[in-house]
Amino acid sequence: MPTKKLGEFLDDHGIKYVAIPHQAAYTARQIAALTHVPKKELAKTVIVKIDGVLAMAVLPASYAVDLSLLKAAIGANNVSLAKEAEFKDHFPECEIGAMPPLGILYGMAVYVDESLTKDEDISFNAGSHYELLQISYADFERLVKPRVLKFAGLQDVELLGAWHL
C-alpha cells in the first residue's frame, strides 16, 4: 500500500491507481527490471536545490538530469543536487530515495522532463522500496501542475540499443 498520506491524497481526488508491489529495489533500473515497467515510463524523483529552495526534478528512469539545462530552462542562478540531509525530513512517511513525485504533498515545486509527457501512464515510487504506483499522466498533470521542461537526456543509450533512438 502507498504511504497513508499519498493514498489518502489520491483517494480524496478520485484518482485511480494501480499498486505494483515488488521485491526490494533501490535503483530505477532494478525497479524497472522487477516490475517490467519500461524505464521511459518509470519516473524517478531527483531532489534539487534551485537558488537555495528544494524542488523535484521528475524524469524517466533511463534519463539523467542535466543541471545546466535545468538552470537555463527556469532561469535560475544556481541549481544543484540536494544532499540527503537537506531533504530527508521533508518526507517523514517515505523511505529515502522512494519519494513520490507529488510536490504538492511536500510543499515543493515539480519540474517534469518533457519526455515523460509522451506516455499515457506514469509509474513512480509509492514511498517505499517495495512498491510502485501507476496513474494516468493526465491525472498526474492535473494534480501536480508541474512545469514541463527539457532538462534530461538518456544516460544509458548503449543498454537501450539503437532501436530506441
Does a structural domain hold residue 134?
Answer: yes
- Residue 66 belongs to domain spanning: 4-155
pLDDT by residue, tens only, the chain of 165 residues: 677 889 899 999 999 999 999 999 988 888 988 898 887 889 999 999 999 999 999 999 889 999 999 999 999 999 999 999 999 999 999 999 999 999 999 999 999 999 999 889 999 999 999 999 999 999 999 999 999 999 998 775 444 444 443
Distance CA 115, CA 65 (A): 12
Does a structural domain hold residue 164?
Answer: no
Does a structural domain hold residue 160?
Answer: no
Does a structural domain hold residue 163?
Answer: no
With vertex at residue 101, the alpha carbon angle to CA 131 and CA 123, rounded to the nearest 5 degrees, is 45
Domain count, the chain: 1
Q: How many CB atoms within 10 Å of residue 120?
A: 8
138 membership: H or E segment, kind and range: helix 137-144
Does a structural domain hold residue 165?
Answer: no
Residue pLDDT, tens place only, 66-75? 999 999 999 9
134 membership: H or E segment, kind and range: strand 131-136
Residue pLDDT, tens place only, 14-34? 999 999 999 999 888 889 888
Q: How many CB atoms within 10 Å of residue 154?
A: 17
Question: Position of cell 494501480?
Answer: 18
Question: CATH no. for residue 18?
Answer: 3.90.960.10
Does a structural domain hold residue 161?
Answer: no
Distance CA 56, CA 92 (A): 16
Of 11, 37, 20, which is closest to residue 126 (Cα–Cα)?
20
